[in-house]
Amino acid sequence: MSKKIFAINAGSSSLKFQLLSMPDESLLVKGIFEKIGLKEGIFKIEFEGQKEKELLAIPSHQFAVDYLLNFLLERKLIASLDEIDGVGHRVAHGGESFDDSALIDEQVLSIIEKLSFLAPSHNPVNLVGIRAFQKALPETGQVAVFDTAFHQSLSEAYYLYPLSWDYYHKYGLRKYGFHGTSHKYIAQKVKEIWEGQGEAAEHLKIINCHLGNGASICAIKNGQSVNTSMGFTPLAGLMMGSRSGDIDPMILPFLLEQENLSAQQLSDVLNKESGLLAISQLSNDLRDVLEACDRGDEKAHLALNMFVNRIAQTIASYITDLDGLDALVFTAGIGENSAVIRSLVVQKLNCLGLSLNQAANEQGQLFIQNSQSQAKILILPTNEELMIAQDTMRLLEFK
């Protein structure tokens, strides 16, 4: 029997939503509320092949949730609120408390709130979204799906920083990793593909490249995260659209002193004014950088080279962590859509036995390795919302 499951992602001034029919995984409705809290907000929704957009005041997340549910009823997309069988919520940080998604009760809400010091821009807002749906749908089961949960399988050798134990015990200062829902989804899809082709899938060694404006790479073995490029925060690891990624940590106190920056100003420099944007002096959007490269822009070309280098270096190091490789996967906005990035990254990995079928790469086929490649290379669309819906179904124990 099909169930209707919401997948929700609440931001500080936004609320993204998808309504899926499970377990057949069909998308019924999707959309977003933007500019929540401002006088002129935006409501976008897609359903039954239609797209609609409204400008309206959206004073709160609660207003957005109530407006959405009334819209679904008025358009007869649902007959009653009783048709909503579950709501899954993306929650940024589960700390060390959650190694899986969790049924939401008062204890879970309390832990999410206590963990807000680790994700002050995200967890409190995620809680707002959860409480808004609890108020609107008090009898409907709710599930928290944590960005960090998939990476709780990392061993101490990979999650600890070489700092005093005091900082770990006092503040939970360690690598947590993010994009876990996407990495978990891709790990499952690769396993399904291998099994569908009659190949052994129990001990797969996968490196998943989630490349978008925010980007991370994950080494996965036996379906578990072994290492990942983001760390205590999503700033760590790869160079990204406007994030610096890893830099010499002594740059931070140097800039604080030399530029007389506050901690918040320094955070803004690293998160909002760095990466592709800083080096290209043009844009945080890779598409703009690639267009500028075609025009011969030297700074754009430098930004591209730096971006590719960081990705290739991380993949190479993760092959050692996995002691080999079965599948290299490209996913998310850049990973799925940029044949140029995939080609440049794999070119740098030719020395490790990875090589592309350029035609398959340009066509965006599932498998893009050539016959000489020592591991398979795939393009796989990620689907975090579907992963949220799957976890919600699993935890609500629908039969």
**Is residue 210 a known part of a binding site?**
yes
182 exposed, middle or buried (CB, 10 Å; 0-12, 13-18, 19+)? Answer: buried
**Is residue 285 a known part of a binding site?**
yes
**Is residue 16 a known part of a binding site?**
yes
**Is residue 169 a known part of a binding site?**
no
**Is residue 333 a known part of a binding site?**
yes
**Is residue 386 a known part of a binding site?**
no
**Is residue 208 a known part of a binding site?**
no
**Is residue 384 a known part of a binding site?**
yes
255 exposed, middle or buried (CB, 10 Å; 0-12, 13-18, 19+)? Answer: middle
**Is residue 364 a known part of a binding site?**
no
What is the greatest pairwise CA distance in the chain? Answer: 64
The strand pairing partners of 142, in sequence order, are 87
- The C-alpha atoms of residue 146 and residue 150 are separated, in whole angstroms, by 8
**Is residue 90 a known part of a binding site?**
yes
Q: Which of 85, 99, 105, 147 is catalytic?
A: 147
Residue 99 is a catalytic residue: no
Place of tokens 């990979």: 158
The strand pairing partners of 20, in sequence order, are 5, 27
In sequence order, which residues have a C-beta less than 8 Å from that of residue 292 and are 6 or more positions away? 280, 282, 283, 299, 300
Q: Which candidate, 205, 241, 245, 230, places its Cα nearest to that of 334?
A: 241
Cβ proximity of 113 and 33 under 8 Å: no
**Is residue 287 a known part of a binding site?**
yes
- Binding-site positions for substrate read 90
- Binding-site positions read 9, 16, 90, 210-214, 285-287, 333-337, 384
- Binding-site positions for ATP read 16, 210-214, 285-287, 333-337
- Binding-site positions for Mg(2+) read 9, 384
Report the catalytic residues.
147
